[in-house]
Structure 1
Amino acid sequence: MMAYRYTETELSEYFYEALSMFNETLDTDITSETLVINFFTPKNGLVVYKDFCKKYFPKSYEAQHEVDGFFETIAAEAFVDDNKYGVLIREDIDFSLGELLFTFLHEISHMFCIKNEIKGGKFFDEYCMGSGEEDGYLNAGYAIWREAVADIMADSIMSEFATISLRMIADEVKSYYKQLNYQDIESKKCMSLIISYIMISREVSSEMKWDTAKEKIKNALHIEDHMLLEILRMVFEKLHQSPFWQITPEFIRELGYYYLMMLALKMVL
């Protein structure tokens, strides 16, 4: 397998290329004047992250970044404050150019959504900072939605037409589905990937009616989990609203409710 290596200058140039692609589709206020870029390696990631947050994004610091090995698991991370944006990019990233541009578009999608998902932006800060049962639904729903919608937006900008079919992703979706449980820390990420893979497939992305899309999904993937189908229905219908990136607490809470109910039922069935 070919190994890819980029200089910091090249990574910056490709990030701005991805930004240009994004701004041609959705005009944003993300520019070279409002964006700060820095680079990290797994070895110095925590030091770079702490300094980056202290200098530019003091409200964005998260303790989970202190977990051993955290910076080996990410390729880039977006930051948003009132008047600026930021991105940390792994400088030893070995993605192909297509994978690299997709990664950057994913992070730019995060920046855009954080600013535009609700009036005034920052849904997470407004609704996901509590610890009660309702907050659990909101936290779960938002974690799933934010990653899925960023993938879907990045794919729609990269591709002029859908390039994968449901049958092509069947094995991966089934594998991710098996990982959905309370104990797996990657469970929400797996749920997001299931959503994004299915929504960007040729059969589903070209369909306007959920009932027809549902039958295509069930036939190709043999999905019978009612809660999973409800999650897919909610996202499908949201993506057919305009603008689809705008969300409500009710939508996110319901998404989280179905996800957690699905996990509970998987334990007893």
Structure 2
Amino acid sequence: MPQLEFDATSQSKREFIESVIEFCKPFFDEALGFDFSKNDCLKIAYCNFENRAEVYEDFCKRFFPLYLSENYDRNSIFVAQSFTNADDEIYGILICLDMEPEDADWYQIIFHEMSHIFCISRELGRDNFTAKYLSSAITKSPKEQCMDFGYAIWREFIADYISYKVRPITRPLSFAQMRKVVRELDPGVCVSNPEQTVNTSIILAHIFVHPKIQEARDIETVLQALKRNRIFSSKERCEDYRELIKLIFHQLEDDYCWEITPQFIVKIGWAYLLMRLN
């Protein structure tokens, strides 16, 4: 099935995005037995920079009241956000029309948000991991900090990974391309960067969707491939990622890799905090 193309002379941006969503639904339903195409369960809302807070609050009041209790940044900038409802099989995506991704990127964005929805609604049965385990306290214990960092890294990684497995929109990066991207992102894996965990998730996603990495039968084979192709700036830096890569490698061996435990998430966070963060 060919991808759709956005023609600004015949379709509005909103209509184009709606077409992308309808295109993505059957791929996701077929790959994972989900139900995005059933009973109008996927709710979509659109906003712009000026009204994003008001639209967010109205969307949550109507369908996703749990999210109203979170500390929402009224000035946050986003392309899309996903929502689930613990009581009903109702899911949502809020899309900001003022953002300007390339047309082809909308497919990856929608698959990514659908993957978030799938994982959030399956990772603990019907419980919400954020509501159940993540503390909103300003001062947090070491375990709570590990949980925050671990879940931030895992949730973005697994959404990228599953969206790729459902339907690869683009080919995996070659090792040469991966080297360039990783070396651009890795300096941002540092305490001063608010996107530090996002950078880490993107690095891990590029690694684990590569065919050679997916063929690997053990963690040492993965690390040897990364070192041999000089993916990181040094062998020592590659070793910094060893425990994170090991934890994810073994998690992905499970057919239900999206199912997680708080213990696993703490281990991810601890492995991250033990890295030498610039």
What TM-score does the superposition give when structure 2 sets the normalisation length?
A: 0.86
Q: 1:234 aligns with which of 240, 244, 247?
A: 247
Q: Give me the CA root mean square deviation.
A: 2.2
| 1:45 and 2:52 matched | yes
- Letter aligned with residue 37 of structure 1: I
Deviation at 1:162, TM superposition (A): 5.0
Structure 1 residues 234 and 33: CA distance shift in structure 2, 3 A: same
| 1:88 and 2:94 matched | yes
In 1, Cα distance between the equivalents of 2:120 and 2:260?
11
Check the 8 A contact 1:166/1:203 in 2, yes or no: no
Match of 1:258 in 2: 271
Structure 1 residues 154 and 144: CA distance shift in structure 2, 3 A: same
Q: Which SS does the other structure have where 1:36 is aligned?
A: strand
- CA deviation string 1:40-61 (max 9, x = no partner): 1122212211221222212113
Q: 1:224 aligns with which of 216, 236, 242?
A: 236
In 2, Cα distance between the equivalents of 1:39 and 1:223?
45
In 2, Cα distance between the equivalents of 1:184 and 1:4?
37
Match of 2:262 in 1: 249
| 1:22 and 2:34 matched | no
- Structure whose residues are more often helix by fraction: 1
Structure 1 residues 162 and 243: CA distance shift in structure 2, 3 A: farther
Which segments of 5 or more consecutive residues in structure 2 lack a partner in the other structure? 1-5
Q: Which SS does the other structure have where 2:277 is aligned?
A: helix
Deviation at 1:119, TM superposition (A): 2.6
Structure 1 residues 116 and 166: CA distance shift in structure 2, 3 A: same
Larger mean CA deviation between 162-171 and 152-161 belongs to 152-161
Structure 1 residues 151 and 160: CA distance shift in structure 2, 3 A: closer
Structure 1 residues 266 and 65: CA distance shift in structure 2, 3 A: closer
Which segments of 5 or more consecutive residues in structure 1 lack a partner in the other structure? none
Correspondence list, 1:114-153, <5 A: 114-129=120-135, 131-153=140-162
- CA deviation string 1:63-85 (max 9, x = no partner): 34223xx22xx211100012111
Deviation at 1:99, TM superposition (A): 1.3
How much identity, in percent, do the aligned residues show? Answer: 25
Q: Which SS does the other structure have where 1:87 is aligned?
A: strand
Check the 8 A contact 2:107/2:169 in 1, yes or no: no
Structure 1 residues 52 and 160: CA distance shift in structure 2, 3 A: closer
In 2, Cα distance between the equivalents of 1:125 and 1:134?
16
- Letter aligned with residue 100 of structure 1: W
- CA deviation string 1:216-258 (max 9, x = no partner): 0122214423331210111122112121111111111000001
Structure 1 residues 161 and 114: CA distance shift in structure 2, 3 A: same
In 2, Cα distance between the equivalents of 1:176 and 1:95?
20
- Letter aligned with residue 187 of structure 2: K
What TM-score does the superposition give when structure 1 sets the normalisation length?
A: 0.88
| 1:59 and 2:66 matched | yes
In 2, Cα distance between the equivalents of 1:27 and 1:180?
35
Structure 1 residues 182 and 40: CA distance shift in structure 2, 3 A: same
Paired positions, count: 260
In 1, Cα distance between the equivalents of 2:264 and 2:240?
15
Larger mean CA deviation between 144-153 and 208-217 belongs to 208-217
Check the 8 A contact 2:47/2:95 in 1, yes or no: yes
Correspondence list, 1:176-255, <5 A: 176-220=185-229, 221=231, 222-225=234-237, 226-255=239-268
- Letter aligned with residue 64 of structure 2: F
In 2, Cα distance between the equivalents of 1:172 and 1:255?
22
Check the 8 A contact 1:176/1:194 in 2, yes or no: yes
